Amino acid sequence: MTTGVTAPRGFRAAGVEAGIKDTGLDLALLVADETCAAAGVFTTSRTSAPPVAVAREHLASGRARAVVVNSGCANAATGPAGRADAREMVDLTARAVGCPPGEVVVASTGVIGVRLPMDKVRSGIAAAARRLAPDQGSEAARAIMTTDTRPKEASVSFTVGGRPCTVGGMAKGAGMIAPNMATMLAFFTTDAALTPPLLHRALVAAVGESLNRITVDGDTSTNDCAVVLASGAAGAPAIEGEGRDYEAFGAALTTLARRLAEMLVRDGEGATRVAEVRVEGARTEDEADRIARVVAESPLVKTALYGGDPNWGRILAATGRAGVALDGDRVSIWIGDVWVAENGAAREYEEKDAAAALEEHPVRLRIRLGEGEAAGWMWTSDLSHRYVDINAHYRT
Amino acid sequence: MTTGVTAPRGFRAAGVEAGIKDTGLDLALLVADETCAAAGVFTTSRTSAPPVAVAREHLASGRARAVVVNSGCANAATGPAGRADAREMVDLTARAVGCPPGEVVVASTGVIGVRLPMDKVRSGIAAAARRLAPDQGSEAARAIMTTDTRPKEASVSFTVGGRPCTVGGMAKGAGMIAPNMATMLAFFTTDAALTPPLLHRALVAAVGESLNRITVDGDTSTNDCAVVLASGAAGAPAIEGEGRDYEAFGAALTTLARRLAEMLVRDGEGATRVAEVRVEGARTEDEADRIARVVAESPLVKTALYGGDPNWGRILAATGRAGVALDGDRVSIWIGDVWVAENGAAREYEEKDAAAALEEHPVRLRIRLGEGEAAGWMWTSDLSHRYVDINAHYRT
């Protein structure tokens, strides 16, 4: 058994070395035995890449049979020629799988502004189609990696009408990770049966509590997407409305998406520490989330996290500049269980306790505003020397 | 002659080693011979520091005689005790100078969340008052530094009614520099005579074209302020309305503020390169500025700048995620004079020419949208290993 996208019944996958990257697996196929209900969510970028447009168009039907993904080249900022390349990837996959092109989802990740080496893509898709198997989900998870240091895959079980069902997934990220679909690709599969609108609703909800709450560098990418395919191969009753079965599926998908999100942020470029930033006592969830995001993205907070320095003043300063109206004299801050600031000012605490709290995994940073009852949160990684190393010479 | 705050007639200054920092000058006084017209602009942070509240209150009168500034401790997140400390700094200065407390402006910069060592502040203010002299502007400029590696001061000459006048200034910054008054303190003096409302208008305009357009790390501080004092000691006719004299003063103040802003960003924490990000062809100036800011604050753009990598794809990606509606297929990008992208896609260009453009000072990044006629700009520094070094262990 595999734990990723081929854990649910009805799916095969493959990952091959097409030669798009200098070395390593760089082309993945995910194919369902039958046409699936499907849904996707995409980057909000105004300079989104050609494959995003093609995938969005095809998923509008709510049906899909196959997903083709390459790493090493984002096929972004490539103009009309890039759109033609994305469509050719779709056509090649459709032909290899034996389905209409409209049932193929395409995604790319890697360097921006460079054309795909289509000769390599062509032979790669053919090779991947030959390797498709129900135990190759991990190879696919490896093939979608860019600066990731390890593949991310997981699966969660649940039941529908007493029948065991599974939701599985793979994701890639590492850099350019930020809320609202940053360079993050995530593919989910399930052998439960759902209508496309319900599948879409569950995906939006799951992503909102997971992938959209992680940030490595605040840079949202041109290529992000999260896609889910439901094969129905478990033989459980179809989920056609809200209720217990939908809740069971939604909970499993959210759990899976959170596991993958945590893997993504732990493998953030150069990350040595991961923190959960929690904001409580806000007037609205939106305001709580906005503050959590500003704190989570603050370079000063992130470098202090890297240095293991419980510099809560930077947390307070980031809280104050989030553009949310608040009374700074009511703010409390905790690092782990150490209550370091109250009413906007320092409390008496042991510096070594606060420093020790920065050694936890994840580090828990908690901010209480005293403005209302709403809460929000983000996961973030630290800003390390290695982050600078990785990104100063990414293309060279 | 000095070039900074004591370049205009009617001002004395001093910088002393009060012992707030471990070593070095850390307390500055700036005193006018007579009460001046005065104006200030302040941080937009909701967790602004006690001295900000006191300075804002005192400048509401439009009059000031003295400015007292300490470095090494921000007196931020210090609650009611911190407010009492800020007021005591004002009272001590007023007594030493011989003016009402309401004519004293106070500012602090340094670590957040720590009380001021008031015994040292008391003796420091007394010592500074004894050292006040019309040639000590440079000492004051040194005394307000935190992680700055060099003092920032400059002056600009202009004429009012045929009379030579001068505007001088000093600033500090280095980290926590971001638009809308980040940890940045700037103090301007002039021997021209203006009404307080005109002085305020000129200050807001000058800061909007200088200090509010620089970013090092996007972190806006709790303590920023920019203050201007006009002594009238040049003996030129008072500027009491808009017109040629007001324009001459405004232009000189803006030139001075831009010089100081450029010094600030060049001395940004760990900066090895400085870039001007210019956005053209936007629908509105506000949208142009928003895009320029997102590009200027992007960690991926800033690390590529550090690495000397002409990775324009990151510039395009940052442009697309700024929250401004635009057609990515109309975007052009230049690095220096090298036109690297057109219609959202790569042009043919020599990689070595683009790399050479990253060796210019400043690096010029230009983005043309094709949406309208408005333009905007920001200055930024790169994100280096040294930035991480400085900020991982700032307190320790």
- Residues in A closer than 8 angstroms to B346, CB to CB, are 77-78, 113-115
pLDDT in tens, A82-141: 999 999 999 999 999 999 999 999 999 988 888 999 999 999 999 999 999 999 999 999
A242 SS3 class: coil
Answer whether B320 sits within 8 Å of A387, measured CB to CB.
no
Mutate to test the interface with A, among B224, B300, B347, B381 (most CBs of A within 10 A): B300
Nearest to B385 among A81, A341, A388 (CB): A388
Q: Report yes or no: A49 at the B interface, CB cutoff 8 Å.
A: no
DSSP state of A226: E
Q: Report yes or no: B11 at the A interface, CB cutoff 8 Å.
A: no
Compare A192 and B396 and report the one with higher pLDDT.
Answer: A192
Q: How close B1 gets to chain A, by Cα (Å)?
A: 39
B181, pLDDT greater than 50 = no
- Residue A12 tokens read as 């095969």
Q: Report yes or no: A204 at the B interface, CB cutoff 8 Å.
A: no
Q: Phi/psi of residue A301, each to 5°? A: -65, -40
Cβ atoms B49, B74 nearer than 8 A: yes
User: Which A residues in the span 237-296 are in contact with B, Cβ-Cβ below 8 Å?
Assistant: none
The predicted structure's pLDDT at residue B111: 84
Chains A, B: CB pairs < 8 Å: 230
Are β-strands A332-335 and B27-42 bridged in parallel, bridged antiparallel, or unpaired? unpaired
Q: Which residues of B are catalytic?
A: 183
Q: What is the mean pLDDT of residues A176-194?
A: 75
The predicted structure's pLDDT at residue B82: 95
From A278, A45, A280, select the one nearest A181 (Cα to Cα): A45
Angle value at C-alpha B74, between B68 and B76, nearest 5 degrees? 115
Handedness of CA B349, B355, B359, B362 (dihedral sign): positive
Cβ atoms A375, A278 nearer than 8 A: yes
- Residues in B closer than 8 angstroms to A287, CB to CB, are none
A178, pLDDT greater than 70 = no
Q: Report yes or no: B338 at the A interface, CB cutoff 8 Å.
A: no
Mutate to test the interface with B, among A43, A147, A183, A300 (most CBs of B within 10 A): A300
The predicted structure's pLDDT at residue B8: 98
pLDDT in tens, B77-125: 898 999 999 999 999 999 999 999 999 999 999 888 889 999 999 999 9
Residue B227 pairs in a beta bridge with B40, B187
B344 → chain A, closest CA residue: A77
pLDDT in tens, B299-342: 889 999 999 989 898 899 899 889 899 999 999 999 999 999 99
Contacts of residue B285, Cβ cutoff 8 Å, sequence gap at least 6: B374, B375, B376
Q: Report yes or no: B6 at the A interface, CB cutoff 8 Å.
A: no
The predicted structure's pLDDT at residue B396: 46
Domains of chain B: 11-266 (3.60.70.12), 274-392 (3.10.20.340)
pLDDT in tens, B344-357: 998 999 989 999 99
Answer whether B48 sits within 8 Å of A328, measured CB to CB.
yes
Mutate to test the interface with A, among B42, B43, B176, B303 (most CBs of A within 10 A): B303
Answer whether B113 sits within 8 Å of A346, measured CB to CB.
yes
Nearest to B112 among A309, A316, A325 (CB): A316
B220 → chain A, closest CA residue: A321
Answer whether B328 sits within 8 Å of A47, measured CB to CB.
yes
DSSP sequence for A243-276: SHHHHHHHHHHHHHHHHHHHHHHHTSTT-S-EEE
Answer whether A306 sits within 8 Å of B388, measured CB to CB.
yes
Q: How close B388 gets to chain A, by Cα (Å)?
A: 6
Nearest to B45 among A45, A46, A320 (CB): A320
